[in-house]
Structure 1
Amino acid sequence: MPEDSVDAIEEEAQRVFSALDAVERMSDPLARARVVSRLLKDQAERNRRLKGMRRQVVLDLRAQAVPYRRIAALLGVSSGTVQDIERGYSGSGTNRPKRGDAAQST
């Protein structure tokens, strides 16, 4: 990935983090709580969409026979996470279905 792309990604992510930091610094507790409520309500649906977008990239790369480790490096996650994304699994590692169970439950 070109360095300017990495910089743009980091810059965009930092804008999001900065906005969230600003919410946490709000001096009016009631206004802060209203903003937090709005963020939490929005985040559940947004997380589903974002995970779907990321999963589609993983599926497309796997269809091109890109190895898990390469995808992990591109996304900045572990290869185990890439495998979970490919399977459509996004829960806690403690609740991860066993290999044979995952095939039976789909």
Structure 2
Amino acid sequence: MSSEEVRRVTEALDAVEAIQDPEERSREQSRLMALMRTRSSEWMKERSELAHRIKQEEGEKATIRGLAKRLGVSPSTLQDILSGYRGSGQRRPKVNKQPTDATEQRQPPEQP
């Protein structure tokens, strides 16, 4: 998608927000939100398939940061996409890691 297309979509959304009649504005906003729910789901699926395909084709060459930049998302969002996680970042399950020797060395000694 080019910057021109994004600009045109943004202008169209601004035009809906500028509708003077509150009831008409609400109807048009509802129509757009319903369309976006459908498209958002389709776009997320498409983005996920692309991320997985690139990661499989490029293997270790496709770093999380590099691939995230290519897809226009944050590295944490890309990690969620690749792991299949679709919830809120605030509700993301904690990773259960076993401490390594290096981690144990960095922790301060326990106080009696």
Question: What is the alpha-carbon distance in structure 2 between the residues aligned to residue 15 and residue 47 of structure 1?
Answer: 18
- Compare the two structures and name the one with the higher helix fraction: 1
How far apart are residue 61 of structure 1 and its match? 1.0
- Higher RCO (C-alpha under 8 Å, 6+ residues apart): 1
Matching residue of 2:65: 69
Q: Which runs of 4+ in 1 moved over 4 A?
A: none
TM-score by length of 1: 0.78
Secondary structure of the 1:26 match is coil
TM-score by length of 2: 0.74
How far apart are residue 93 of structure 1 and its match? 0.8
2:67 maps to 1:48: no
Aligned residue pairs: how many?
93
Question: What is the alpha-carbon distance in structure 2 between the residues aligned to residue 27 and residue 36 of structure 1?
Answer: 13
Stretches of structure 2 lacking an aligned partner (at least 5 in a row): 97-112
Q: Give the CA RMSD over aligned residues.
A: 1.5
Secondary structure of the 1:81 match is helix
Percent identical? 40
Question: What is the alpha-carbon distance in structure 2 between the residues aligned to residue 99 and residue 40 of structure 1?
Answer: 34
2:87 maps to 1:95: no
Q: 2:21 aligns with which of 9, 15, 28?
A: 28
Q: 1:13-43: per-residue Cα shift (whole Å, max 9, x none)?
A: 2211111111101112111111011112222
Q: 1:67-106: per-residue Cα shift (whole Å, max 9, x none)?
A: 1111111122221111111122232111112235xxxxxx
Stretches of structure 1 lacking an aligned partner (at least 5 in a row): 1-7, 101-106
Instruction: Give the number of the structure whose alpha-carbon radius of gyration is greater.
Output: 2
Matching residue of 1:10: 3
